[in-house]
Amino acid sequence: MDAAHDQRGRGYWRDALFCVTFLYFTVGFSPYISLSSTYLGSAMAAGSNLLNQLTAILLLFSFIAFMAKERSFSIIFAPRLLLAAIFGWFVFTSLVGEAPLFSLRRLAMCAIICVLAAGFLQLPRTERHFTALLAACALIILFLCYFGVVALPSRSIHQASDALEPLLAGDWRGVFRHKNEAASVMAVLIIVGIYLCKRWSFIGGLSVTLLSLVFLVRSGGKTALGLMPIILATGWFILRWPRWRYAVVTLFLALFAVVIVGTTVDPVFSQMLTTMGLDASFTGRTDIWTVAIDYIRQSPLFGYGYQAFWRSDALMSSFTENNTWATTAPDSHNGYFDLLLAGGVPGLVLVLVWIYLLPLHYLGKMNVATRNSALTRLYVGVWLYVLLFGFLETIFFLSTGFVWFFLVVAVVGLHLQANASLVEDEKEPEPARGEGVQMMVTKPVSRQPSQAVRHR
């Protein structure tokens, strides 16, 4: 009786921690914020909120307590040597950068996010448990977004009275500060909905997918919407023919990089895109990218410190000299440029090894059944989306943000998938200590139902 009561208590603790973490990274503490007097669309501005920092620290201690009880520290900051090199390099560039104390505080928050993402997948006991929690969180987010649009339109839809970007009037943003943030979250929820169709409930998963798709369309997130067919097709291809995974993903990244850089630095290239009927300015982003590229050339090795470049005193004072509004931008609107500005070429290379090369390596380690599972497809879909959308928004290596958090979750998930065997999931056996969502499988295989996951 006591054991059963203790087991239920542990289950409630896992559920609460999962949902609170998910909602912390999506809804946060400022839903339905008014943009009429001041612009708070920058994720970096949100990261400086004291309440956000205190909550992150509280979650960190909660996860540490949970993992200590479960003896499951093995995947925290894994691979440790690489992550030590990444954070060590960014600590160094921050110390020699524009604002050392500011950068180090933000970097500490980024490290906390990485710990939370690794612990997040250890909370569910089985894949069935994971899908139920994920579905509940996705439906809560969608409800809050649609409720805002219906009941609080002035705080959930961009208005002509917004202090900045009044031209976005009519675009839905829900509980988020900006329609681009809303579009990114909805794109991830579409991928989640497709997964839920297969592993939770077809009707429920389809509802999540369609509601997210409608909201994405109404947010005006054309780029995120346009990426969805590419991501789904690419994910299907590299999972079916894994030997082509390096070539295909690298080709897409190279193509996006050439288009972005070519459009910014070469007027002929820009003219070609205009003739094709495309917006060669990428809704004004090329002005910002021009500033970013100029400053990257000035400090290609060390950058300017973690999140210390944009809106710095030096950059803001150069507004009159350069005569461009882009020097007042909150970020590059390009994750790769911001990595270069924060840590130079070494910083970019180190982070790419982590979020680009390692997942490809993990896919090669998986057996056929694991690689073709719905769970692996979920992780691959999120991973591909963030890699490609990172060319148009700053979403890598941040001190806040749901999309960055979920990318780390996807990378950790692929690591677990590559190092765990499939087991029967119908009876939902209690996992051994140190095992979490890596137990989750899509198809039972010819093993005894009571066998636990075995790590290679």
pLDDT for res 439: 44
Domain that holds residue 323: 2-439
Strands (E) located in 4-131: none
Residues whose CB is less than 8 angstroms from the CB of residue 54 and which lie 6 or more positions away in sequence, other chains included = none
Domain count, the chain: 1
Q: What is the pLDDT of residue 424?
A: 40
Q: In this predicted model, what pLDDT tens digit does every residue of 223-264 receive, in sequence order?
A: 889 899 999 999 999 999 999 999 999 999 999 999 888 888
Domain annotation covers residue 390: yes
> What b/e sequence results for 318-350 when a residue is b if at least 16 CB atoms lie within 10 Å of its CB, and e otherwise?
beeeeeeebbebbbbbbbbbbbbbbbbebbbbb
156 occurs within a structural domain: yes
pLDDT recorded at residue 48: 55
Is the previous residue joined to 79 through a cis bond, with omega within 30 degrees of 0?
Answer: yes
Take residue 363 and report the two structure tokens written for it: 């896919």
**Is position 118 within any domain?**
yes
The helix/strand/coil state of 348 is: helix
**Has residue 450 been placed in a domain?**
no
Report the b/e string of 62-101 with b at 16+ CB within 10 A. Answer: bbeebbeebebbebbbbeeebbeebbebbbebbeebbbbe
**Within a domain: residue 455?**
no
pLDDT of residue 383: 97
Instruction: Look at residue 173 in the predicted model and tell me its pLDDT.
Output: 94
> 3-state DSSP call for residue 455?
strand
- Domain contains 213: yes
Residue 453 lies in a domain: no
pLDDT tens-place string over residues 400-423: 889 999 999 999 999 999 986 544
SS3 category, 312: coil
**The pLDDT of residue 335:** 93
Q: Is the pTM of this model over 0.85?
A: yes
Task: Tell me which residues of the chain have a pLDDT lower than 70.
Answer: 1-11, 37-48, 314, 317-325, 420-456
What was the pLDDT predicted at 37?
65
Is residue 444, in this structure, part of any structural domain at all?
Answer: no
Is 52 in a helix, a strand, or coil?
Answer: helix
